Chain A
């Protein structure tokens, strides 16, 4: 059996990573994500697992890529500025097609921004942060319990699709302690990367016969040694560089298709009171919790409103949103940024319904009352939901 605990989402992510089979952690301290390495530094040595604090954000993700390529489940954790620094190596992980989990505890940006305050400003960065056409999976849990489940799922997706997965939480989840359940490893489904059926001499790391080719562990438990080459250059099935246009196109298309063709396994979403809804709130992460309260309140007054909550942010749930667009009168996208996911919803909805936004990048949570006000009058701009008394507490900023 697992155990009941009273933890914030950072600690929950750390615990869940161990349940999922984390074998290597490398990181760099950054607010508000530091509880993740702090907790792991206590537990990992007790389990005999390597834990490293590296010299910088770049080194930490690179060390994780090295560990993962050699056959170990690896994770690194950061926040905004660190996520920016990690982008190049995130692209390498995409290109190598090595499993990796990168946790981004979103704080207010840009630049150093609001280090101790929550935001959801890295949504587009999670998708397009590293250069070039690369596939990505990003998931966003709404509370610490879901962070446990989604961390395990992030590891599973990474292993199954040979793909880095970004886990997006935020600065408020990293403070909020709640009662959660941490399952034992034998209680949950755990996916390990597929291993080749062929001997080392017949093995290709990018075998054309597979959509997701098996990624051989360098050293197997039965003493085999798979020696092969991975390159950050465009490569053919052997892993060696090529500039042959057909192979370049193939590689990128396969890398995208391995995600896009398996949306049914990757996408996860929640419909909340959507059956008869005329207004659809789209919200994720901690904002979704505020939306839930607002919807309950509006429903009591007979307003037909519901929520579509994507847990998988990338790839986006296009089919589901398009389907909702044919049924509802309007969308309201609530997010702690200036409308990043709203852009994506607008793209998918394609003008079939108006898309409004509660777009707040103020470093404070969107409150249920703000979403409630927006439900009442979507065309009206919603002000920052703080009382004079609360604003006084922030100090400065005349």
Chain B
């Protein structure tokens, strides 16, 4: 049965803001299908985004949503997840947002294996600000800040995430939505940090500037960089140079998830009173003959200023 997307969208915010041919809508659709298949209540879902085209997703999905500042969405998401370990927390964002300016937060979320699902819409360009080159722009590709072509090497975000210790890392392609949905769903289900790096076309600010033709042709161009993980196994290192492998690239079922790890610290802390015993020294109990008097308090705080104490507003 077809998915009723309107169930998950704020329909009064339609139509979508994205340009014709943009991959963001495809990715959002795959993501909503995955959520629908999992049967998660939108009441239990929170999504955070930073700034950029992809970050606009938080405006459309009918979850608890935060549209934060550039680059920091993952850090904000960690704060939510740590406070509410039983809820589902997601981040949507672009390459400029999550990898370039916000790269440090991505690295450390990977390392922590915090149960947040990040959908990274990787379009190789700063789209919203008008086509400046980012850390994922292929060398030689033109951008408004690289009129002669970018002279910087690019980054394989998935390799970086695996190196940093992410529990689940996958790469998808907006041109292959059926597989993309599966990859996202597996990431959502994974208990730990999951990153889905989605190659997605920006026909206006990347394709057009690089004379790559219409959106369909741009998809073909992007696809030429991609190799499925099954096929990659049969390829030599030399052949894989400059290629990006798609599919589930890494899944660690052993690594503890962050909120679970914290739970065990809490249990350990509550089982022993080592610090409590140390700090509670000087506790005054109700029956204590040393019950603090107003005069004693007044000596500790002799100023003519109000206190937050209910009993003695002024000492």
Contacts and interface: CB of A to CB of B under 8 A. Distances in A.
A–B contact at 8 Å CB threshold (below) = yes
Interface of A: 1-6, 23-24, 26, 42-43, 45-46, 48, 50, 52, 54-56, 58-60, 62-72, 74, 88-89, 91-92, 96, 145-146, 149, 152-153, 156, 179-181, 183, 187-189, 218-219, 225-233, 240-241, 268-272, 311
B76 interface: yes
A48 B270 contact: yes
A63 B82 contact: yes
A59 B46 contact: no
B64 A46 contact: no
Contact of B308 (A54, A179, A189, A218): A189
Given A1-B285, A62-B79, 9 more contacts: A54-B75, A59-B72, A66-B76, A67-B83, A91-B69, A92-B68, A180-B300, A187-B310, A229-B10
Contacts of A66: 48, 66, 68, 75-80, 83
A52 B78 contact: yes
Contact of B68 (A2, A6, A62, A218): A62
Contacts of B285: 1
A55 B43 contact: no
Interface in B30-53: 42-44, 46, 48, 51
Nearest to B108: A55
Contacts of B3: none
B265 A45 contact: yes
Contact of A227 (B64, B78, B286): B64
Contact of A218 (B46, B282, B284, B301): B46
15 contacts: A1-B285, A1-B288, A2-B292, A24-B83, A26-B78, A42-B275, A43-B275, A45-B268, A62-B72, A62-B79, A226-B64, A227-B43, A231-B59, A232-B69, A240-B13
Contacts of B58: 229
A56 B262 CA distance: 20
A206 to B, nearest CB: 14
Interface of B is mostly: mixed
B103 to A, nearest CB: 10
B243 interface: no
A202 to B, nearest CB: 15
Nearest to B62: A227
Contacts of B79: 24, 26, 52, 62-68, 70, 74
Nearest to A223: B43
B275 A63 contact: no
Interface string B250-265: 0000000000001001
Nearest to B280: A3
B48 A88 contact: no
Nearest to B78: A63
Interface-central residue, A6, A43, A219, by most chain B CB under 10 Å: A219
Nearest to B56: A241
B59 A23 contact: no
Given A2-B292, A4-B282, A229 B59 contact: yes
A58 B309 contact: no
A272 B305 CA distance: 10
Interface-central residue, B46, B62, B78, by most chain A CB under 10 Å: B78
B164 to A, nearest CB: 11
B80 A70 contact: yes
A48 B305 contact: no
